[in-house]
Chains A and B, each alone.
Chain A
């Protein structure tokens, strides 16, 4: 029953562990799925944001390029009118009005500069190359150049894009009209748009040149690289590469693309990981709280349960001596404890009752045994008496009859188990006298009795079986023997001893005598005496046999001092 108990979990720890683990795993699973969902949502959100930003830039740029187209158309129609005066006034006004329109140029068929309007600036004497001119095929249609420096004017190098168009004059010549547009307006459209904390938009043309980038100078200083080669190949839409979200949108009316750049790290990962940290933090708190709560609750339940268990184990061990103190706790525990308390009391009552019954039963049995008179003994004694009468030894016969009568009177003793030691000694003497007659004075006997002990009680017929044993087994009948009966006080107890000087016994025999129910002629063996003494006075009392071979045997009855008035039956 008790195996393995050491390895089992106690209730409180088990409950705590189960609660904590369950809470942990269930929240962990919930968190995992909600984080997945959250991540998806954040990603979608990031893409939408990026789309919106790019769309915003695109619509502004579309209207801007449309504006430029309109200006181009106006220029063309003015040029086509071939009214020098009108042209001059109109273009001067136009360059003054539009801040970002740096220069209007008209080139002849071979690229020679025919005329220009440049907010009053004057051309350099010597120009190595004109970066604002690019020979175009002779057909209609607008061309937008890559960004470049305008190097036509002295000490003035502005970054511009050139918008050019070929037009056919009335004389049939192709003229190329160009305008250099400064970045200011485009920059203001693009710079203001951010995606996330560090995301941005930039403009690229279809040849892969960056037209405008908010961090243009970083790119020029080679501190930053934009992967223009790959981005150039992207179609419109969203692309994710190397942790960067690229959103590409091509403008309707020119060859520019708007690229929105945002960082997965920043717009997705950091948000999700922030969320994850918060959630983990919460899980930590929840698990901690549940563990503590679980510990507390299981303590509440299991500590009294444990006490109860311990009480039961103790009861199991101690039995009658155990006394139960009620255990405090919840309702269930107290009622358990109460029931157990009742049970303990009841069991102890039952045990006491059983013991009492047992004692009564044994007493009854013994009384019955004592009442029996060994017929053989009686017959032999009567035979001896009759023989004495025949021989005319009347005096001896009378004495014999008297002894026999005393023997039986004391034996009966009104059915009392306990009699005074005085009486027991009389009984012993009567028996000894009869036996002495019968054995023809083969042995002698003597009494050494402490007079103070005579009034104490002892078990009825306790000396006689000892004497009988000494006569039949102890004495060597071929020689004269001596039997001594002693009664004295030792360490607060009464000792009655029967000593013979006969053959003696070995130690094994001594032990066997007390354990086996030998049928003695008187019907009462040593074991019986021992048992009775123990039943009446407890396990500390009883017979003690000391014997040495060829020296004799000493059998002692140890019992407490009991007076008649304090002995209850």
Chain B
């Protein structure tokens, strides 16, 4: 009597259990989704080195696209000067106070931003680093240009088709910013293998057009033998370009600069700049926020380091259909 009936009852009960589990999972998913779609959108703070350059505007555009796609509330902040890590640290603190689930962060200072970031992570915020790294083990994910390789690309672009002796001046930005240093390192390691390159001078300037321009002019006046200049971000590129324009050196000096800006593209066309290494800020912004959404949803992140593309643009190839897409942001 008991045996068969008991088994049957068990079968029926287990069947119902399975169904219930399905139902529970479903309701769980549903509640999860409804949580996402209601006005309590998860808050993600995007804190960058600056907010003014075309580079960062494109980054924000990418971040916004991902924010719309994943239904996140975003804020965009950055200090006025690209050396101001203190303001950045305050922004991190504020974002955590405001309940940011994830901070998408680009560090001004590899060392001095670390403590603030670690503190934020200790308070259960997650951090996705874009563009420029910070000295923290606890960062969930890093999305940036392979800066060392980008530095090598600068070297390649400089050396391409050049037989004459190159006397190079380097104009870099804040010595504490990780990505600038990596780029310079990549460049230096790469040109060290070429026998026609001599690095005559290397300066670090504040990341503004004016500072870079003045710095470059001073460097060129001090070392008139310089016939090549490399520089590693948008503002310093413009500064160098303006300096070359002012000194009318565009035919003498070969300039390899970084990032695209309508003005630097114009300089590429007019000759002050000879090559641009263009990063993919839109992808950085988009992927940064996309990974933030993944972290919020608890999805697994396959890779903790993602390299975005870099493209070498020269006067000759700047208007190919593909490079148009790289250089000129849409709208």
A residues in contact (CB < 8 Å) with B: 5-10, 13-14, 16-17, 20-21, 24, 124, 126, 128-129, 131, 146, 148-149, 151, 154-157, 159, 183, 187, 198, 215-223, 274, 277-278, 280-281, 283-284, 287-288, 291
Q: Evaluate contact between A221 and B280: CB separation under 8 angstroms.
A: yes
Residues of A within 8 A of B4 (CB): 7-9
In the assembled complex, the CB of A388 is this many whole angstroms from the nearest CB of chain B, namely: 82
Q: Tell which of B62, B263, B324 touches A155, judged by Cβ atoms closer than 8 Å.
A: B263
A223 to B65, CA, bound (A): 11
Residues of B within 8 A of A154 (CB): 266
In the complex, besides A10-B5, A217-B62, 20 extra interface pairs with C-beta distance below 8 angstroms are: A7-B4, A9-B5, A10-B1, A13-B1, A17-B9, A24-B12, A126-B269, A128-B319, A159-B330, A159-B331, A219-B325, A220-B282, A220-B325, A220-B329, A222-B309, A274-B26, A277-B22, A280-B26, A284-B20, A291-B12
Chain A: CB-nearest residue to B325: A220
Q: Evaluate contact between A291 and B16: CB separation under 8 angstroms.
A: yes
Chain A: CB-nearest residue to B20: A284
Residues of A within 8 A of B263 (CB): 155
Residues of B within 8 A of A216 (CB): 330
What 10 pairs across the A-B complex have the smallest Cβ distances? A13-B5, A277-B26, A284-B19, A281-B23, A220-B325, A221-B282, A221-B283, A216-B330, A157-B328, A17-B8
A7 to B7, CA, bound (A): 12
Q: Evaluate contact between B12 and A17: CB separation under 8 angstroms.
A: yes
Q: Mark contacts of B260-278 with chain A using CB atoms, 8 A cut-off: 1 yes-contact digit, 0 otherwise.
A: 0011011001100000000
B258 within 8 A of A: no
Chain A: CB-nearest residue to B266: A155
A243 to B65, CA, bound (A): 23
Residues of B within 8 A of A274 (CB): 26, 30
Q: Mark contacts of B17-60 with chain A using CB atoms, 8 A cut-off: 1 yes-contact digit, 0 otherwise.
A: 00110110011001000000000000000000000000000000
Residues of A within 8 A of B12 (CB): 17, 20-21, 24, 287, 291
B298 within 8 A of A: no
A128 to B320, CA, bound (A): 12
In the complex with contacts A131-B319, A218-B65, A281-B19, A17-B5 CB distance below 8 A: yes
In the complex with contacts A146-B321, A156-B262, A218-B286, A7-B3 CB distance below 8 A: yes
Q: Evaluate contact between B319 and A149: CB separation under 8 angstroms.
A: yes
In the assembled complex, the CB of B60 is this many whole angstroms from the nearest CB of chain A, namely: 12
A24 to B325, CA, bound (A): 59
A240 to B126, CA, bound (A): 39
B247 within 8 A of A: no
A364 to B133, CA, bound (A): 122
Chain B: CB-nearest residue to A214: B65
**11 contacts across the A-B interface (CB closer than 8 A):** A9-B8, A149-B328, A151-B269, A157-B328, A159-B328, A220-B325, A220-B326, A221-B280, A280-B26, A281-B22, A283-B19
In the complex with contacts A155-B266, A277-B26, A6-B1 CB distance below 8 A: yes
Residues of B within 8 A of A124 (CB): 269
A16 to B13, CA, bound (A): 12
B149 within 8 A of A: no
Residues of B within 8 A of A280 (CB): 19, 22-23, 26
Residues of B within 8 A of A148 (CB): 321, 324
Chain A: CB-nearest residue to B269: A128
Chain B: CB-nearest residue to A5: B1
B116 within 8 A of A: no
In the assembled complex, the CB of B266 is this many whole angstroms from the nearest CB of chain A, namely: 5
B315 within 8 A of A: yes
B15 within 8 A of A: yes
B287 within 8 A of A: yes
Residues of A within 8 A of B328 (CB): 149, 157, 159
Q: Evaluate contact between B19 and A223: CB separation under 8 angstroms.
A: no
Residues of B within 8 A of A128 (CB): 269, 315, 318-319
In the assembled complex, the CB of B58 is this many whole angstroms from the nearest CB of chain A, namely: 8
In the assembled complex, the CB of B236 is this many whole angstroms from the nearest CB of chain A, namely: 19
Residues of B within 8 A of A215 (CB): 65
Residues of B within 8 A of A17 (CB): 5, 8-9, 12
Q: Tell which of B1, B16, B61, B286 touches A223, judged by Cβ atoms closer than 8 Å.
A: B286
Residues of A within 8 A of B280 (CB): 221-222
Residues of B within 8 A of A13 (CB): 1, 5, 8-9
Q: Evaluate contact between A284 and B23: CB separation under 8 angstroms.
A: yes
A16 to B9, CA, bound (A): 9
Chain B: CB-nearest residue to A17: B8
Q: Evaluate contact between B269 and A217: CB separation under 8 angstroms.
A: no
Residues of B within 8 A of A16 (CB): 9
Residues of A within 8 A of B282 (CB): 217-218, 220-221, 223
Chain A: CB-nearest residue to B69: A198
A129 to B321, CA, bound (A): 13
A157 to B328, CA, bound (A): 7
In the assembled complex, the CB of A317 is this many whole angstroms from the nearest CB of chain B, namely: 19
A347 to B12, CA, bound (A): 44
A221 to B310, CA, bound (A): 10
Chain A: CB-nearest residue to B23: A281
Residues of A within 8 A of B262 (CB): 155-157
- Among B265, B266, B315, find the residue whose CB has the most chain A CB atoms closer than 10 A: B266
In the complex with contacts A17-B12, A280-B23, A157-B265 CB distance below 8 A: yes
In the complex with contacts A155-B262, A159-B328, A217-B3 CB distance below 8 A: no
Q: Evaluate contact between B19 and A287: CB separation under 8 angstroms.
A: yes
Chain B: CB-nearest residue to A282: B23
A50 to B65, CA, bound (A): 23
Chain B: CB-nearest residue to A158: B328
Chain B: CB-nearest residue to A127: B269
Residues of A within 8 A of B319 (CB): 128-129, 131, 149, 151
A186 to B70, CA, bound (A): 25
In the assembled complex, the CB of A215 is this many whole angstroms from the nearest CB of chain B, namely: 7
In the complex with contacts A128-B319, A157-B265, A183-B331, A284-B8 CB distance below 8 A: no
Residues of A within 8 A of B8 (CB): 9, 13, 17
Chain B: CB-nearest residue to A129: B319
In the assembled complex, the CB of A435 is this many whole angstroms from the nearest CB of chain B, namely: 69
Residues of B within 8 A of A8 (CB): 1, 4
In the assembled complex, the CB of A95 is this many whole angstroms from the nearest CB of chain B, namely: 20
A99 to B12, CA, bound (A): 70
Residues of A within 8 A of B1 (CB): 5-10, 13
In the assembled complex, the CB of A334 is this many whole angstroms from the nearest CB of chain B, namely: 24
Q: Evaluate contact between B321 and A223: CB separation under 8 angstroms.
A: no
A10 to B69, CA, bound (A): 59
Chain B: CB-nearest residue to A148: B324
Q: Evaluate contact between B61 and A217: CB separation under 8 angstroms.
A: yes
Residues of A within 8 A of B15 (CB): 24, 287
Residues of B within 8 A of A20 (CB): 12
Residues of B within 8 A of A14 (CB): 5
Residues of B within 8 A of A278 (CB): 26
Chain A: CB-nearest residue to B26: A277
Q: Tell which of A149, A157, A288 touches B16, judged by Cβ atoms closer than 8 Å.
A: A288
Chain B: CB-nearest residue to A273: B26
A17 to B16, CA, bound (A): 13
Residues of A within 8 A of B62 (CB): 217, 221, 223
Residues of A within 8 A of B265 (CB): 157
In the assembled complex, the CB of B172 is this many whole angstroms from the nearest CB of chain A, namely: 26
In the assembled complex, the CB of B237 is this many whole angstroms from the nearest CB of chain A, namely: 15
Residues of A within 8 A of B69 (CB): 198
Q: Evaluate contact between A217 and B65: CB separation under 8 angstroms.
A: yes
A8 to B8, CA, bound (A): 13
In the assembled complex, the CB of B197 is this many whole angstroms from the nearest CB of chain A, namely: 28
A461 to B62, CA, bound (A): 127
Q: Mark contacts of B54-83 with chain A using CB atoms, 8 A cut-off: 1 yes-contact digit, 0 otherwise.
A: 000000011001000100000000000000
A148 to B325, CA, bound (A): 9
- Among A5, A217, A277, find the residue whose CB has the most chain B CB atoms closer than 10 A: A217
Residues of B within 8 A of A223 (CB): 62, 282-283, 286-287
Residues of B within 8 A of A288 (CB): 16
Chain B: CB-nearest residue to A20: B12
Residues of A within 8 A of B23 (CB): 277, 280-281, 284
